[in-house]
Amino acid sequence: MTAPLTIAIDGPAASGKGTISRRVAAHYGLRHLDTGLLYRGVAALVRERGVDAQDAEAVGAIAAGMNEAVLARSDLRDGGIGNIASVVASHPPVRAALLQWQRDFAQGGAVLDGRDIGTVVLPDASAKLFVTADADVRAARRWRELSKTEDISYRRVLDDIEERDRRDSGRSTAPMSHAADADLLDTSEMTIEDAVTEALRLIESRLG
Ligand code: CDP
């Protein structure tokens, strides 16, 4: 029996990994899970219920009780949620509660994008990419999206991205890192079309 096709796509905020992942999933006819939404969902519940985001146990209990309906909330992409998400994502009980959910989703084949997919969630993925771009390029991309609906400065978006990069790479449990067997894709100077083409080329050469 051949193993199901699983593709792990990791990288920092606004690197292009979300768009690339959706397009890669469509190309191979696979389901796609944006795992950041799980952490954003926990963050939204934490904010709504007035729970202290630093309280690992209380936030872990919220993560354990999460359901799919939370992922459909319209506020998960708000500017403030990303930062709370990166705080709640640093707690081991939160990561433990969400790990099986992600693995179950990948059964039978899928594309998952996040921070620790190639290293922790799917270490045996068929192909892995680490998608990155310079922080100022990523901040400009994210600012263009957010400023359509929020009054937010470029400087604040850049500070937020840099703070999250530090927290996501520096935490002790499942830090964001480039898996040894992941191909690096730097999208700083690429259009999204070029990045998708290059991602598919790298994945094809891994699948051999
Ligand atoms: O879209 P963006 O890249 O800004 O963020 P996201 O992928 O939605 O993730 C939000 C936050 O969730 C990140 O800053 C991480 O702290 C956390 N996260 C994580 O720890 N592990 C994942 N697999 C995915 C997201």
Nearest residue CA, atom 3 of ligand 1? 13
pLDDT less than 50: residues of the chain? none
Is the CB of 21 inside a 6 Å radius of any atom of ligand 1?
no
Q: How far is the CA of 196 from the centre of ligand 1 (A)?
A: 20
Nearest residue CA, atom 8 of ligand 1? 36
**Ligand 1 pocket: which of 45, 76, 115, 138 to mutate (most atoms within 8 A of CB):** 115
- In the chain, where the domains are located: 6-196
Query: What is the structure's pLDDT at 1?
Result: 64
Query: What is the structure's pLDDT at 78?
Result: 84
Instruction: Tally Cβ neighbours within 10 Å of residue 4.
Output: 12
Query: What is the structure's pLDDT at 80?
Result: 85
Ligand 1 atom with least separation from CA of 112: 23
pTM, to two decimals: 0.95
Q: How far is the CA of 2 from the centre of ligand 1 (A)?
A: 31
Instruction: Tally Cβ neighbours within 10 Å of residue 167.
Output: 16
Query: What is the structure's pLDDT at 3?
Result: 84
Give the CATH number of domain 6-196: 3.40.50.300
